[in-house]
Amino acid sequence: MLREIERDELEPLATGAWILGAGGGGSPYLSYLNARNLYQQGKRVNLMDPRGLDDDDLVAVVSNMGAPLVGQERLSDPAFSAKPLRMMEDYLGRKFRAVMSVEIGGGNAFQSLLVSAVTGLPMVDADAMGRAFPEAQMTSFAIAGLPMFPLTLADIRDNEVIVARAASWKWMERISRKACTEVGSIAATCKAPRSGREVKEHGILDTTTKAIRIGRVVREARRRHEDPVAALLEAESGVLVFKGKIHDLQRRATEGFLRGKAQVEGLGEDRGSTFELEFQNEFAAGWRDGEVVVTTPDIICVMDSVSGEAIGTESIRYGQRVSVVALPSPDQLLTPQGLDHVGPRAFGYDFDYKTVFQAVKA
């Protein structure tokens, strides 16, 4: 139930993870460079099918927590990524069997891979979001009501934090976010440890494989001078929501969130229409000519119409020719509890989940 991740899967993983980030999670590029360096040094990562976990195996859930914009100048370093995992082992007095990422979207797709390369532990082919989200309570584990503590956090200096208990997922988010902000808005964390059974029952499975697959489809279409956006839609049952040019943009960094709006002026079949996107790190909702047509947790991606490269909410800019695409949300996020945690109301909107997919599972 283990297979080695090949060197030539790292770039597709970066491409795919950036698409699954729905505009957030931070560009995986720098983490990809770290992975490439580790592979050049002879390190290797084994990907583990989560179904191969024993029920009582202990799995570390790691993440690089913080503001993606800060991560662009304070670059992630695998030497620090594994620190919280060791802290957690010391704290629990138990050893981990494997490691997984909290989110497959954006740079964190590589966090478990980097920790895996450094520690030699296998990396579980699963995450707890199936995309990217900004906060701790926005995970399939939180939706399932699993315990949220303890949490360990380390920075690049000699600061280590253990949150021994928290009253709720939101309290865990608040306390750990404060610590993270204090050490420079970037910190390596190890979230509440999970049993093999919890991962199998409540994790979002096979997402590393999915990200690599998506990256390959897009890169292959690009190589053949075919339409990478169309290739993605076909391979992943996605929907093209709108095509056009960015013609207005408002963006502000507040309290660890990158919030704003992007307006797309229609081109081709969408000429004459306007599409408005709002984002809170990730793209949260989209309006066509004033009417909301798609919301979180559908995976709303903005892609360069030519290259098929994902465009993040921090890198979107005036004049870009873009395709707004929706990919289906993982089922776990579409239950009533799921939508409580990650639906539009969880982001402060006063409307319910809207999807572009025919079969609404909610």
Partner 1 sequence: MKRIGIDVGGTNTDAVLIEGGRVLRGIKTPTTEDVTSGVRKALAEVLQGDGALAASIDAVMIGTTHFTNAVVQRRGLNRVGALRIGLPASASLPPFVDWPEDLAGLVCGEVAMVEGGHEYDGRPIVPLDRQAIRDAAKRIADDGLTAIYGS
155 or 236: CB nearest partner 1: 155
Shortest distance (Å) from residue 67 CB to partner 1: 8
Nearer to partner 1, 161 or 339 (CB): 161
Nearer to partner 1, 156 or 239 (CB): 156
As measured in angstroms, the least distance from the Cβ of 173 to partner 1 is 20
For the chain, the C-alpha Rg in angstroms (whole number) is 19
**Bridge partners (DSSP) listed for residue 260:** 251, 279
Q: How far is the CB of 22 from partner 1 (least distance, A)?
A: 24
What are the backbone dihedrals phi and psi of residue 161, each rounded to the nearest 5 degrees, phi first?
-130, 135
> Judged by CB, which is closer to partner 1: 18, or 141?
18
Give one DSSP letter per residue of 288-341, joined into a string: ETTEEEEETTSEEEEEETTT--B--TTT--TT-EEEEEEEPPPGGGSSHHHHHH
- The CA-atom distances, in angstroms, between 107 and each of 140, 144, 252, 312, 345 are 19, 25, 21, 11, 26
Write down the least CB distance from residue 244 to partner 1, Å.
32
Structure tokens given for 159: 């600061």
Find the shortest distance in angstroms from Cβ 34 to partner 1. Answer: 6
Q: Concatenated DSSP letters for 149-175? A: --EEEE-SSS-EEEE---SSHHHHHHH
User: Which sign does the torsion angle of CA 137, 138, 139, 141 carry?
Assistant: positive
Cα–Cα distances in angstroms (integers) from residue 185 to residues 70, 91, 129, in the given order: 7, 24, 21
**Smallest separation, CB 185 to partner 1 (Å):** 6
Alpha helices, DSSP H, located in 60-168:
68-71, 78-81, 83-92, 111-119, 140-143
Closest distance of CB 318 from partner 1, Å: 24
Q: Which is nearer to partner 1, 20 or 117 (CB)?
A: 117
Of the pair 155, 198, the CB lying nearest partner 1 is at: 155
> Cβ distance 131 to 282 under 8 Å?
yes
User: Tokens 């859930």 belong to which residue?
Assistant: 61
Closer residue to partner 1, CB minimum distance, 157 or 225: 157
Between 56 and 158, name the residue whose CB sits nearer to partner 1.
158
Question: Could you give the dihedral angle defined by the CA atoms of residues 314, 185, 152 and 31, in that order, rounded to the nearest 10 degrees?
Answer: 40
Q: Which helix (H) or strand (E) holds 126?
A: strand 126-127
Beta strands 58-66 and 98-101 are parallel
CB of 256 to partner 1, least distance (A): 11
Query: Interface residues with partner 1 (CB under 8 A)?
Result: 30, 33-34, 37, 67, 69-70, 73-79, 156-157, 184-185
